[in-house]
Amino acid sequence: MPFAFSDKDFDRIATVLGVPARREPAMVRYELLDEASGRRLSLEITPDLDLPGAVGEDQANNLISVYAIGSFLQLQGCTGFIASEELGEVLFFARRAGVAHGLVIEREAGCSLYSNVDERLLSADFTQLAPELVMSSVALSMTETLFDDLR
């Protein structure tokens, strides 16, 4: 069964990001502003997006979109999220065919995207990885046990 966002999930995300969830008929929106840095971004979660010709009932159709000054990022097929109050961030992730993808949203209106990360890197010895691979592997390794639950 695919991952589905609940109202409790939207509330948890709002708490971690420190902004209210603006619920609209087709999506939930969060507006983040960090006055100290001047950064601002909008996060939109479109749950259970109706995709024409979607294959299989087990495919997650959740769409995560980020609008920021000078950039637009999107994570299609979101299969879960981790919200950490301690870190002040939410990690949305997707996993398909041995590849992991992640979109990290920070309370201070920061955002990072990790795409096409080989799942084997998530449980690798980070000290043995090339420096360019460490950030994505460490960030997405937090989801490894959740991926196991989805199998």
Question: Token pair 């609940």 is at which residue?
Answer: 6
Confidence band of 149 (pLDDT split at 50, 70, 90) = very low
For the chain, the domains span 7-119
User: What is the reported pLDDT for 139?
Assistant: 55
* CA distance linking residue 149 with residue 87, whole number of Å: 23
pLDDT (tens digit per residue) in 50-98: 766 555 555 668 999 999 999 999 999 999 998 989 989 999 998 888 8
SS3 readout for the chain: CCCCCCHHHHHHHHHHHCCCCEECCCCEEEEEEECCCCEEEEEEEECCCCCCCCCCCCCCCCEEEEEECCEEEEEECCCEEEEECCCCEEEEEEEECCEEEEEEEECCCCEEEEEEEEHHHHHCCHHHCCHHHHHHHHHHHCCHHHHHHHC
- The pLDDT score that the predictor gives to residue 146 is 43
